[in-house]
Amino acid sequence: MRAKIFRYAVLVGVAALLLSAGMFFRIQLRAEETEIFERLAIEAEYAKNGLARGGKTYLAGLPDESRITWIDRDGTVLYDSAARTDSMENHLSHEEIRQALEQGEGRSSRFSKTLQRRTFYYALRMSDGTVLRVSCDHSNLGEMMRVVALPGAGILVLVLLLSVFFSDRLARQIVRPINSLDMDQPRAVYPELGPLVDRLRSQNETIADQMADLRRRQEEFSVLTDSMREGFLLLGSRGEILSANHIAQDLLAQSPVQTLEDPACEQTIVQTARRALKGSRDEARLNLNDRVWQIIANPVRLDRARAGAVLLMLDITERDQRERLRREFSANVSHELKTPLTAISGFAELMKEGMVPPEQVKEFAGDIYDQSRRLMALVEDILDLSRLEENTRPRPMTQVDLSALAGRVMRQLEPVAGRFSIRLEQELAPCTVLGDESILEEMLYNLIDNAIKYNRPGGWVRVSTGLRSSFPFACVADNGIGIPPDEHERVFERFYRVDKSRSRAMGGTGLGLSIVKHGATYHNARLSLDSAPGKGSRVTLTFSTEKH
Ligand code: ADP
């Protein structure tokens, strides 16, 4: 813009100079022309008077300043002060002669290219009808130009320099306020810029509105993705991170990263994302910080062109554990079922083959009976557990008197306790819970049964119920063999036993505490175990009064 203003200003300067020079020369020429014609008219008037008085002799005696020609009415040259008359052509065709013959006087000028000069003619009609013409040459424009060429060129250069200087200043002055225009809050520095500034202002407002809208959407999007329990990662076509919620960021790298190219990025995610960026869906598993993640990457297409990829990261730790437990459970169940079945079929086979002496038949039948009881207990426990796990007991909850229930279970187990010389003690304060009586009975049975089974001869088992901080509770304590601290979690797993042979010998299935744990969950109760090897164990169930 500055260059353009500058160019135009210089052009205007030079054009103005040339135009005024041209006009000056033209006015000058006109003035000179008028002056010449006036002089020629005076001379012609003198010559006319002289000719009238003295004839040709007068003309011949005149000085040579101007050329004088006397022309007859028919155009024949009668006299010429500069040439021989007999060699001269008829002058009737000459402009000034025709004018003089018609109007009394005539004037014209002609330019001779060969002589490079202009000749001015003034003709006057005499009273006898002849025409007297006075003419003179005049230095032409070229000559004049030569005279003024040097100072003119000097002036031109000066004007050029001045116009360059002022044009530059002008261009700077015009452009400076435009350059220093505050684009955020524009003000019209020139009235001509008013519409442009108004437009800028309205565009600024539109942009601000759109930016606010974009920010709001971005925030909404962030809130949405951050509240997700899954990791969410949106990638551009070159692997640049367009959006990532905090789970995705944590999984991707330990510090914030902008692109997948960053070497700090988790390589499993990078590889999966790369395949999606190439256009195909991919999945992967990632084990990180004791959790298992499933990475699902899908390509994103815009107008059929690959535009990036979107990755979802699902925490499948629980699902994974459940699957592992289920696999273990199936393997354990078959193993547990196989043991008594093998024994039963072995004993039965011996009896069938008649290989058992008659006096031992009763003993063998007793063994078969024990193994089948064990099998039944196992199947019952498995069924209970699976029902509890699937929550498929459609029985309605009722108010259950926990102390009465505990007393009943203790009475059931008294013979067993007696067999192992275990003393049963009770501190049963009345309390009721909303629950399923048969499940609660089974839970208490398993706990008291365990306290008797994993005890020492002469040991004790204390069962207490009541309210603690207005919450109903049931507690089974013993001074038996106890459980090592690192096994506390595991004893609630299915089929887990601390001492396998002892459990088997006691007819344990390995499912008792597992049923207790699921029963507690079913009743929304808190289950705690306090136990140490050689000192004994205490299992407490604390029920919440909330309904569920
Ligand atoms: P089991 O049918 O073998 O008794 P449980 O699930 O009831 O299976 O118990 C799991 C294991 O926890 C038992 O095998 C035993 O080793 C241990 N256990 C349970 N209760 C007690 C207790 N009161 N004292 C010591 N060990 C116990």
Separation in Å, CA 27 to CA 4, 31, 32, 149: 34, 6, 9, 17
pLDDT tens for each residue of 99-133 = 999 999 999 998 877 667 788 999 999 988 899 99
Confidence of residue 490 (pLDDT cuts 50, 70, 90): very high
Q: Is the CB–ligand 1 distance for residue 536 below 6 Å? A: no
- Integer Cα distance of 15 and 20 in angstroms: 8
For the ranges 21-35, 89-103, 141-155, 405-419, the one whose mean pLDDT is highest: 405-419
DSSP string, 455-486: S-TT-EEEEEEEEETTEEEEEEEE-SS---GG
> How far apart are the CA of 491 and the centre of ligand 1, in A?
7
Q: Is the CB–ligand 1 distance for residue 509 below 6 Å? A: yes
- Integer Cα distance of 471 and 287 in angstroms: 41
pLDDT tens for each residue of 511-531 = 999 999 999 999 999 999 999
- How many other C-beta atoms are found inside a 10 Å radius of the C-beta of residue 450? 24
Which residue in the block uniquely carries the two structure tokens 């398993």? 446
Dihedral angle of Cα 34, 35, 36, 38, to the nearest 10 degrees: 90
> How far apart are the CA of 496 and the centre of ligand 1, in A?
8
- Integer Cα distance of 462 and 428 in angstroms: 10
- Integer Cα distance of 126 and 489 in angstroms: 151
DSSP string, 64-131: TTSEEEEE-TTS-EEEESSS-GGGPPP-TTSHHHHHHHHHSEEEEEEEETTTTEEEEEEEEE-TTS-E
Q: Which of 373, 447, 454, 479 should be mutated for ligand 1, with most atoms under 8 A from CB? A: 454
> How far apart are the CA of 330 and the centre of ligand 1, in A?
21
Nearest atom, ligand 1, residue 510 CA: 8
Predicted local confidence at residue 547, as pLDDT: 45
Q: Which of 513, 518, 528 should be mutated for ligand 1, with most atoms under 8 A from CB? A: 513
> How far apart are the CA of 319 and the centre of ligand 1, in A?
27
pLDDT tens for each residue of 45-98 = 888 888 888 888 888 887 777 889 999 999 999 888 888 888 888 989 999 999
State the DSSP H helix or E strand holding residue 14, giving kind and residue range, or none if neither. helix 2-60
Predicted local confidence at residue 392, as pLDDT: 62
Predicted local confidence at residue 433, as pLDDT: 95
Q: Which of 373, 481, 491, 518 should be mutated for ligand 1, with most atoms under 8 A from CB? A: 491
First to last CA, the chain: 79
- Integer Cα distance of 491 and 476 in angstroms: 16
Burial, 22: exposed, middle or buried (Cβ in 10 Å; 0-12, 13-18, 19+)? Answer: exposed
Residue nearest to atom 2 of ligand 1 (CA): 508
Confidence of residue 8 (pLDDT cuts 50, 70, 90): confident
> How far apart are the CA of 481 and the centre of ligand 1, in A?
10
Q: Is the CB–ligand 1 distance for residue 497 below 6 Å? A: yes
Q: Which two tokens stand for residue 386?
A: 């699976």
Find out whether 133 and 121 touch, Cβ atoms under 8 Å. Answer: yes
Angle at 492 between CA 486 and CA 496, to 5 degrees: 80
DSSP character at residue 180: T
> Quick one: three-class SS letters along 485-505?
HHHCCHHHCCCCCCCHHHHHH
Q: Which residues contact 134 (CB under 8 A, 6 or more apart)?
A: 40, 43, 44, 47, 66, 67, 68, 121, 122, 123, 124
> How far apart are the CA of 497 and the centre of ligand 1, in A?
6
Predicted local confidence at residue 7, as pLDDT: 83
Q: Is the CB–ligand 1 distance for residue 491 below 6 Å? A: yes
Give SS3 for 280: coil
Dihedral angle of Cα 526, 530, 536, 539, to the nearest 10 degrees: 0
pLDDT tens for each residue of 346-398 = 999 999 999 999 999 999 999 999 899 989 988 988 888 888 877 665 578 89
Q: Please determine, for residue 316, whether its predicted confidence score (pLDDT) is greater than 70.
A: yes
Q: Is the CB–ligand 1 distance for residue 66 below 6 Å? A: no
Which residue in the block uniquely carries the two structure tokens 């499993």? 268
The pTM assigned to this predicted structure is 0.51
Q: Which of 107, 124, 514, 465 is nearest to 325 (CA)?
A: 514
Residue nearest to atom 14 of ligand 1 (CA): 497
CA dihedral (502, 503, 506, 507) positive or negative? negative
Q: Is the CB–ligand 1 distance for residue 478 below 6 Å? A: yes
Predicted local confidence at residue 143, as pLDDT: 64
